[in-house]
Amino acid sequence: MWEGEPVPSLRIIGPGRAGGALAGALSRVGWTIESPLRRGEDVRAAAVGVDVVVVATPDAQIAAIAGAVEPADAVLVHLAGSLGLDVLAPHDRRGAVHPLLSLPNAELGADRLLAGGWFAVAGDPVAEQIVTALGGRSVAVADADRAIYHAAACVAANHVVALLGQVERLAALAGVPLEAFLELTAGSVANVGALGPADALTGPAARGDLATIERHRAALPPAELPLYDALVVAARDLASTGTADPAGRVR
């Protein structure tokens, strides 16, 4: 795969949840993982003697770290979903690999990285080679599209979790545990996968049952109404058009 070496070698800068998970996963499939560099350590020679350097620091630190690494033959790669390749200047060979996965810790994250998930890639072919080694599926996302792509990823993960926080709060008022609703959520997600969002949508907003919606609103604590109301608008719009209206209008 790499001229002069039987397997690729890689060094992580910032071996936290994402960096540690990637190192663990690639180690399991035969890559050579060199000693990582942690916060406060000298990174100037990080690209010497390895094929790939992965900058897995918080997004705000990537440009500074990349700028401090002295250019060598290694490809510099970051894991940030919303950033382009410009943050890896002045290195000529640059890549991006963003896993569309939740990586809660290094060990569980390594398992998930090897489970055949999706990755957004850009830049040097090494990004695609990393995904192939992990057994994943890749989609190329250009620099100009990365912010909107990452926004979609945040909605798919973080915002769904925030919504389940509201489910937990409302369910508690009725004396019902959150766990009772999780199969309902999982089934809805499965329906989206099978049918698409518009055809998977059910409930009072989808069928235009305004009386039920008003009963909900009368029962909800005032602090819960803004989120509920916003999602009713989104659901009614999806039901009527098949797509979400970016302005949040019911059409």
What per-residue confidence (pLDDT) applies to 126?
97
What per-residue confidence (pLDDT) applies to 1?
46
pLDDT, tens digit (0-9, with 9 covering 90-100), for 50-88: 999 999 999 999 999 999 999 999 999 999 999 999 999
pLDDT, tens digit (0-9, with 9 covering 90-100), for 191-223: 999 999 999 999 999 999 999 999 999 999 999
**Which residues, in sequence order, are CB contacts of 72 under 8 Å at separation 6+?**
47, 48
**Which residues, in sequence order, are CB contacts of 68 under 8 Å at separation 6+?**
43, 44
**Which residues, in sequence order, are CB contacts of 55 under 8 Å at separation 6+?**
13, 14, 62, 65, 66, 69, 76, 77, 78, 79, 88
Helix (H, G, I), strand (E, B) or coil at 134: helix
Q: What is the amino acid identity at position 156?
A: A
Residue with tokens 């329906």: 191
Name the more confident of 180 and 244. 180
Domains of the chain, CATH where assigned = 9-141 (3.40.50.720), 147-241 (1.10.1040.20)
Whole-structure pTM value: 0.87
